[in-house]
Structure 1
């Protein structure tokens, strides 16, 4: 490895049994093992030498600036920063440990009955902020020759029609046959440009079939169902959101229980005491 070249000629390197030093700023040392892990695997020797040189220079600049900051910044500002660093360190360790405990002990399964119960209790909070639809559609090239056949089969959509449309699907520019899923109207505007926010009242109606055309293609669209603005969203549409809310609540409750158990155990083992002034 190219880094070893530095090890053979740097006057600050110690014995083979000790860590190999690459650079020093005051009482702070940069070691070979700190830099070696950062070098991308397979990097050419000349590139790795350049990488290490740049890293050393950047490290040195940071250390020198840090040293100057400690000398020149007001004492109260240094105390503030030290407290922030310590708080961040504590938060980093405890957050990682909490996540590990949650992954081991917290149940991540949400039953259909739990979803349904929450939905029924919170229905008024699930009013739609935009129209949603169940839709199937196909975008054809402008000069597609068999448009009428495709249109008939998409509208009828029996089992044999689905098989036929699937068999020639490679000829379509775009398709969506999954009309059992609710889709936001904003997504429809993206997928079918001739339908816009301004004209959606005309096209996004239940059981409507229509054909639209622009310079990009021909759009055959069948609307199965529609839910309008301010209607209560159907459960399947909001189920992912409900699941995240329930999991978040479960996580919070689990952490509270853990914290209580940890404190109780520490008090029992006399590892934790609270001192109060008794006068």
Structure 2
């Protein structure tokens, strides 16, 4: 059986138990084989087991020696019992709060509520970068069915929009064809040759196509919002929904905490002695 000894302490080790041998020792701490129960896969050979034992013993020894070193530098006034008690209380409370949220939180948010929340808080949603509502495509050059693509791009009819999306699925490397979606201007600019599209020139390049020898690019701008402007709801919808759910979660927890307090107070399970 493999035994890994690390940093042996000055005290006498416990007698060896042949049924549960020591795998590693760090000062007075010992790792025994019994602590590895369930870690060996079914059908593992003796060689496989030896590799698993050696790897685990080495990890254990590193953790144990760091713990020992930490203990040597623990401040004399550190109240470990209180820290452990507080940490346990925090874990128990967090677990219960998760149960409360999972059973009591209503996660359905109506569009009306979403709009109302956005209107009340939209000053919080100032843009950190310019965004655009646009169409954009990047296709390889030579361009497959180039004339057909030009017609589909230029016509803008509903039936041509569907055909354009079909073309994009077949041939385009990048295709943003939802005319109601917003994108960061920098996201679009990264798909173009450097310097083609910037916050300074985008309004003068509201529609263009260009070729750089390896790709052909198509761009059509519908609307732009600059940095510091209020973001449209569709652009921050997920963020707003998370904010609504966070507020609901906080309300559930505060209401439940208060209900429990009042219940136990009326049952005389809470006493105060502060006015003596």
TM-score by length of 2: 0.77
Could you tell me which residue of structure 1 aligns to residue 91 of structure 2? Answer: 92
1:34-113 mapped onto 2 (5 Å cutoff): 34-38=35-39, 46-60=47-61, 62-63=63-64, 66=67, 70=71, 73-76=74-77, 78-79=78-79, 81-113=80-112
Q: 1:238 to 1:74 in 2, by over 3 A?
A: closer
Q: 1:224 to 1:64 in 2, by over 3 A?
A: closer
Aligned-partner Cα distance in 2 for 1:261–1:224: 52
Q: How well do the aligned residues superpose, as a CA RMSD in angstroms? A: 3.5
Structure 1 residue 187 and structure 2 residue 192: aligned?
no
1:159-170 mapped onto 2 (5 Å cutoff): 159-168=158-167, 169-170=169-170
Structure 1 residue 211 and structure 2 residue 199: aligned?
no
Greater Cα shift, 23-32 or 171-180: 23-32
Q: 1:13 to 1:273 in 2, by over 3 A?
A: farther
Structure 1 residue 234 and structure 2 residue 239: aligned?
no
Q: 1:222 to 1:90 in 2, by over 3 A?
A: same
Could you tell me which residue of structure 1 aligns to residue 272 of structure 2? Answer: 274
Q: 1:261 to 1:35 in 2, by over 3 A?
A: farther
Structure 1 residue 247 and structure 2 residue 245: aligned?
yes
Structure 1 residue 12 and structure 2 residue 17: aligned?
yes
1:113-152 mapped onto 2 (5 Å cutoff): 113-152=112-151
**Contact 1:128–1:228 (CA under 8 A) maintained in structure 2:** yes
TM-fit CA distance, 1:177: 1.6
TM-fit CA distance, 1:161: 1.9
Superposed CA deviations along residues 107-145 of structure 1, whole A, max 9, x for unmatched, are: 111111211112222233333232211222221112225
Greater Cα shift, 62-71 or 253-262: 62-71
**Secondary structure in structure 1 of the residue aligned to 2:209:** strand
**Contact 2:22–2:30 (CA under 8 A) maintained in structure 1:** no
Aligned-partner Cα distance in 2 for 1:172–1:98: 48
Runs of 5+ unmatched residues, structure 2? 2-14
Q: 1:201 to 1:28 in 2, by over 3 A?
A: same
Higher helix share: 1
Greater Cα shift, 41-50 or 173-182: 41-50
Superposed CA deviations along residues 22-48 of structure 1, whole A, max 9, x for unmatched, are: 65865876563x534455788776344
TM-fit CA distance, 1:74: 4.1
Q: 1:267 to 1:46 in 2, by over 3 A?
A: farther
TM-fit CA distance, 1:150: 0.8
Aligned-partner Cα distance in 1 for 2:244–2:216: 43
TM-fit CA distance, 1:82: 4.6
Q: 1:69 to 1:121 in 2, by over 3 A?
A: closer
Could you tell me which residue of structure 1 aligns to residue 176 of structure 2? Answer: 176
Q: How many residues align?
A: 261
